[in-house]
Amino acid sequence: MMAGRFMLAMVAILGIIVCMGAFAYPVNVAQVEPQVIWSGNVTLTLDPINIPVGNTTMNVNGTSVLAALWRASQIGEFNITVENTSWGLYVSSIAEIFPENWSCGWTYEVNGQMPVVGVALYFLQTNDSVVFQYGCYNTTTWALERLLYIIKINVSVATGDLDSNGKVDFNDLIATLNLILTGKYRAVADMNADGCIDFNDLIAVLNRILTS
């Protein structure tokens, strides 16, 4: 009789613990704020850039999402790992955060949408906002269950087209010279994306005029 009551009490207590756990779990998940690893601005160029991929380096489009992440990693001084897979180039780790299992990983969004192409094949424009996010997914529904880390990148593309009339010509060259002489900065004139406007940018704009 006593043993029976004890068992009932234990079952009730266990039930309460299990229920508390069941109710507490989703609440905890919802309350976890992802950690922002880096957030900032990058300037991209139309010229391709070399990025380490596996044990080699590859030329990728200078305005690609991968180029934006690469520039961010250099400014923010964090590592990225890029792998060449049968689906294209894939970012497997950022800031030493590797997937803890196969249901977790890094994905990216541009302006709040998740593109269906790889990081090297989506090309960005000025004012695009890129978010890389690390999370783990429910393996039945593929809903995101845990969003843990975030990188936020605001993009400018250095085109040299300072009057935004769709072509780079001598007006843009004069405008670039003006920026140099007045010490001003405009992202579209920073042709080598080094964070300042100087004669290297003037030469790069001239180059673009002569080759287009």
Is 192 a binding residue for Ca ion by CB under 5 A? The answer is yes
Q: Which residues contact 103 (CB under 8 A, 6 or more apart)?
A: 136, 137, 138, 139
**Which residue's CB is nearer to Ca ion, number 100 or number 163?**
163
**Which residue's CB is nearer to Ca ion, number 145 or number 169?**
169
Count of CB atoms situated within 10 Å of the CB of 4: 8
Chain centroid to Cα 13, Å, comes to: 47
Least distance CB 204 / Ca ion (angstroms): 8
Nearest to 86 by CA among 115, 63, 118: 118
Residue 150 CA to residue 36 CA, distance in Å, equals 5
Is 185 a binding residue for Ca ion by CB under 5 A? The answer is no
Residue 159 CA to residue 131 CA, distance in Å, equals 23
Is 184 a binding residue for Ca ion by CB under 5 A? The answer is no
Nearest to 206 by CA among 164, 157, 171, 181: 171
Helix H or strand E encompassing 28: helix 2-31
Pairing of strands 35-45, 144-158: parallel
# of chain residues touching Ca ion (CB under 5 A): 8
Among 122, 201, 202, 208, binds Ca ion (CB under 5 A): 201
What x-and-dash track marks residues 161-180 binding Ca ion by CB under 5 A?
Answer: x-x-x------x--------
**Which residue's CB is nearer to Ca ion, number 132 or number 201?**
201
User: Of residues 113-142, which lie at the interface with Ca ion (CB under 5 A)?
Assistant: none
Among 190, 202, 205, 208, binds Ca ion (CB under 5 A): 190
**Which residue's CB is nearer to Ca ion, number 121 or number 177?**
177
Least distance CB 122 / Ca ion (angstroms): 25
Identity of the amino acid at 112? G
Count of CB atoms situated within 10 Å of the CB of 129: 13
Scanning 7-15, 99-107, 156-164, 178-186 for contacts with Ca ion by CB under 5 A, the matching segment is 156-164
Least distance CB 45 / Ca ion (angstroms): 9
Binding residues (CB under 5 A) for Ca ion: these are 161, 163, 165, 172, 190, 192, 194, 201
